[in-house]
Amino acid sequence: MKNKELKNRDLNVLWHPCTQMKDHEILPLIPIQKAHGVWLEDFEGNKYIDAVSSWWVNIFGHTNRYINEKIKEQLDRLEHVILAGFTHEGVVELSERLVRLTPKGLDRCFYSDNGSSAVEVALKMSYHAHYNDGIKDKNIFVSLANSYHGETIGALSVGDVELYKQVYEPLLLKTLQTPVPSDMSIDAAVKAANEFEKLCIDRSDEISAIILEPLVQGAGYMHMYHGEFLVLVRNICNKYNIHLIADEVMVGFGRTGELFACQKANITPDFLVLSKGLTGGYLPLSVVLTSDEIYAKFYCDYNEHKAFLHSHSYTGNALACAAANATLDIFENDNVIEENKKTAKYIAKKLEKFLELQNVASIRQTGMICAVELKGYEASERIGLKVYQYALDNEVLLRPLGHVIYFMPPYVITNKEIDKVMNVAFEAIEAL
Ligand SMILES: Cc1ncc(COP(=O)(O)O)c(C=O)c1O
């Protein structure tokens, strides 16, 4: 009863993200009353495994006791304070830890409150750093084909998923796309890097930065590529005075098998963008890390007009920082990266079975992200929606991207819960 009542009240007043609202004439909207671990529960006791970590944010489960405790402690001390002119313990501690944990050479943290706004920060900082060097023509950003960096105008401009971008094309910044490696091989990485270098030879005078999602393009249908591409791009960027922006909003915090994806390729980007898992999926927070060298380009007397005058009201929010520090505590105390390797291995074994299905084109996996690509369907058939519906009817939340069914569960998922997710997905695909 409460489910129905809340659904009706919701549909009277809400407009949901990334949703054709008319779909809710046939699709259920699910009111969640409570959640714990990987399980979400509605008002009638129906339960769902959150196999997508609630849009890739939740890493240590819902209502995690330790993170809850740390946020509650913080709540009675300080909820928020302006971060211009003021500071607080949580944000200092978090920044020191991030500088220590991220690739060597990233020394400064600039906060905002979601992935898209952090991408905007990195783009503006890159352009402004060249500008402060007296180079004023570098006003184009390069991104990879099939990339996704968020929905605000700048972030959308560097994205390349047509579905989200097409309508807004006249509003967007001028950007260039260079090919993403077509598969996970080194050959594909070399080929794509050569294409990027050709672009640099022609236009490096205009290019401020290249932005990319290291190793896995999330919203771009979980497309995966080899780390060698990052090494090659890093070298090309150095050669042509172009910044490298690593958008680890999705892949950061252990998703790919290391704490940060750039560490798998042993590279340091000029800007590292983090959000989502940063607070364990609890509160909106994002951060851009950069080098002291770039920071120094903005550091001078006020009247030289070189300061980065960018801000968001909730920058460095104290509750979000408490959640982030608690999240890093868990990484430190629970040997998470090593444990994830075991979980990823277990998932890999389960994933192989999908190749038995005739409508499966391929499977792929990078650490705690895996995907099953289907074949033989038209986009208009909306098979993803059918899989979504089937899974919900069987206690699993999947959110396919078109014809790609993917799994990105919280790290606390057990083998038994993995079995359930994989079995339900298998049956859903078989039933298509
Ligand atoms: C790689 C990447 N960058 C940026 C964003 C945007 O983050 P947000 O949704 O917090 O604005 C996303 C969101 O999915 C993402 O996957």
Query: Tell me: the pLDDT tens digits for 382-397?
Result: 999 999 999 999 999 9
> If we measure between CA atoms, which residue out of 14, 56, 83 comes closest to residue 313?
83
Q: Is the CB of 400 under 6 A from ligand 1?
A: no
User: Is the distance from the beta carbon of residue 213 to the nearest atom of ligand 1 less than 6 Å?
Assistant: yes
Alpha-carbon distance 176 to 193, whole Å? 15
Packing angle between helix 336-352 and helix 415-430, nearest 10 degrees? 30
Q: Whose CA is nearest to atom 10 of ligand 1?
A: 115
Cα 276 to ligand 1 centroid, rounded to whole Å: 8
Packed helices 415-430 and 383-393: angle between N→C axes, nearest 10 degrees? 130
Asked if residue 115 has its Cβ within 6 Å of ligand 1, the reply is yes
The residue behind tokens 């298998």 is 426
pLDDT given for residue 105 in this prediction = 98
With a 6 A CB cut-off, is 285 part of the ligand 1 pocket? Answer: no
Whether the Cβ atoms of residue 216 and residue 261 lie closer than 8 Å to each other: yes
How many whole angstroms from 340 Cα to the centroid of ligand 1?
22
- pLDDT at 432 (0 to 100): 94
- Using the predicted structure, report yes or no on whether residue 1 has a pLDDT greater than 80: no
**Pocket flag, ligand 1, residue 218 (CB < 6 Å):** yes
Mean pLDDT in residue range 306-319? 97
Q: How many angstroms is it from 55 CA to the middle of ligand 1?
A: 9
Question: Ligand 1 pocket, 114 CB below 6 A?
Answer: yes
| H-type alpha helices, 297-400 | 318-333, 336-352, 383-393
Distance 217 CA to ligand 1 centre (A): 11
Query: What pLDDT, on the 0 to 100 scale, is given for residue 280?
Result: 98
Per-residue pLDDT band for 409 (boundaries 50, 70, 90) equals very high
| Average pLDDT over every residue of 208-237 | 98
Report the pLDDT averaged over residues 318-343: 98
The model's confidence at residue 354, banded by pLDDT at 50, 70 and 90, is very high
Alpha-carbon dihedral 184, 116, 72, 99, rounded to 10 degrees: 60
- What's the average model confidence in pLDDT over 216-227? 98
DSSP string, 279-327: GTTSS--EEEEE-HHHHHTT-S-GGG--------TTTT-HHHHHHHHHH
Q: How confident is the model at residue 224 (pLDDT cuts 50, 70, 90)?
A: very high
Residue of 276, 312, 406, 408 with the most ligand 1 atoms within 8 Å of its CB, for mutation:
276
pTM of the full structure: 0.98
What pLDDT, on a 0 to 100 scale, did the predictor assign at position 33?
97
**What's the whole-number mean pLDDT along residues 234-242?**
98
Ligand 1 centroid to 169 CA: how many Å? 19
Share of residues in the chain with pLDDT > 90 (%)? 99
Q: Does residue 250's CB lie within 6 angstroms of at least one atom of ligand 1?
A: yes
Average pLDDT over residues 240-246: 98
Distances, alpha carbon 153 to alpha carbons 120, 127, 171, 416, in Å: 9, 16, 7, 42
Domain regions of the chain by residue span: 2-63+336-430, 68-333
Whose CA is closest to atom 2 on ligand 1?
149
Pocket test for ligand 1, best of 56, 117, 250 (most atoms within 8 A of CB): 250
Residue 53 CB–ligand 1 contact under 6 Å:
no
275 pocket-lining for ligand 1 (C-beta < 6 Å)? yes
The finding on whether 148 has its CB within 6 A of some atom of ligand 1 is yes
Q: Give me the mean pLDDT over the 337-352 stretch.
A: 98
Give pLDDT, residue 210.
99
CATH architecture of the domain formed by 68-333:
3-Layer(aba) Sandwich (3.40)
Q: What is the pLDDT of residue 339?
A: 98
pLDDT digits (tens, 9 = 90+) for 116-160: 999 999 999 999 999 999 999 999 999 999 999 999 999 999 999
Q: Check if 149 has its Cβ closer than 6 Å to any atom of ligand 1.
A: yes
pLDDT of 404 reads 98
Strands 47-50 and 39-42: antiparallel
Which overall architecture, per CATH, does domain 2-63+336-430 show? Answer: Alpha-Beta Complex (3.90)
Rounded to an integer, what distance in angstroms lies between the CA atom of residue 230 and that of residue 193?
9
Residue-averaged pLDDT of the chain: 97
pLDDT single digits (tens) 257-290:
999 999 999 999 999 999 999 999 999 999 999 9
Q: Is the CB of 138 under 6 A from ligand 1?
A: no
Q: Is the CB of 281 under 6 A from ligand 1?
A: no
| CA-closest residue to ligand 1 atom 4 | 149
Ligand 1 atom with the shortest distance to the CA of 276: 10
Q: How far is the CA of 61 from the centre of ligand 1 (A)?
A: 20
pLDDT of residue 129: 98
Determine if ligand 1 sits within 6 Å of the CB of residue 220.
no
Could you tell me where the beta strands, DSSP code E, fall in 160-290?
Answer: 175-178, 207-212, 216-217, 223-224, 243-247, 271-274, 286-290
User: 1 or 350, which is more confident?
Assistant: 350
State pLDDT tens for residues 71-95. 999 999 999 999 999 999 999 999 9
Choose which residue among 149, 212, 255, 273 to substitute to test ligand 1 binding: the one with the highest number of ligand atoms within 8 A of its C-beta. Answer: 149
